[in-house]
Amino acid sequence: MSAAIRINLLDWRREARQAKQRRFVGLLAGVVVITVVIAGVLPLAYYNHALSTQRTRNAYLEDQIAAADARLAEIKNLKADRDALIKRMDIIAHLQQSRGAIVHFFDELAATLPDGVTLTAVRESAGTTTIDGLADSNAAVSEYMTALGRSAWFSDPRLVVIKRAEPPQAGNPRADFTLQVDSRTTPAPGTATADAP
């Protein structure tokens, strides 16, 4: 029997080739999907995670900045309170230093008063003392101004007005006067206070 058995392997080879092609296409599709995931989805997930982390950091920094601003505002308020307290302490210290000055002021005001002059009002404002009074004569007013000028507590006496009642009243020849003098809270150095009359 020389006749060989013939087997047709073409269908089997074609099916094997088609199976290889399907496997290749499947692998190629899998590689494409993996490449898309690696190239597209993973960076997107990474950037989303990085963005979320940065937002968390930004929120933390904003909270810390707000807390620091609140502390700064509190510090400014404390500084303002401290400055106000220092001003009050300075005023109290000044008052403590000059509390005896008012006694000396009035003592010197009375000590410089000559005979024939009567004071009716005394006003002090911003270091200037305005004195209203009655005098027997213009010479008495002049003597009073001279005594004030020599005083350790007063300086630069200035006559503002002097007038006699018109017409002169019998038995009352007195004249009204107003003068101003600069006053000090401490006596001028090297000046002796006037002795009481």
Measured distance CA(19)–CA(13) in Å, rounded = 10
Quick one: which of 158, 155, 157 has its CA closest to 188? 155
Residue spans of the domains in the chain: they are: 10-99, 101-183
Q: Helices in 38-137 by DSSP H: which ranges?
A: 42-98, 101-111
Least confident of 48-52, 80-84, 160-164, 188-192: 188-192
Q: What is the pLDDT of residues 110-132, one digit of tens each?
A: 888 888 888 889 888 877 889 89
Quick one: which of 163, 172, 142, 154 has its CA closest to 110? 154
Is the distance from CB of 123 to CB of 136 less than 8 angstroms?
no
Q: What is the pLDDT of residue 152?
A: 81
Measured distance CA(157)–CA(133) in Å, rounded = 14
Q: What is the pLDDT of residue 64?
A: 95
Calculate the average pLDDT of the chain.
82
Considering only residues 17 and 96, tell me which one the structure prediction assigns the higher pLDDT: 17
Considering only residues 183 and 64, tell me which one the structure prediction assigns the higher pLDDT: 64
Q: What is the maximum alpha-carbon separation in the chain?
A: 187
Is the distance from CB of 180 to CB of 136 less than 8 angstroms?
no
CATH code of 101-183, in short, is 3.30.1360.100
pTM: 0.46
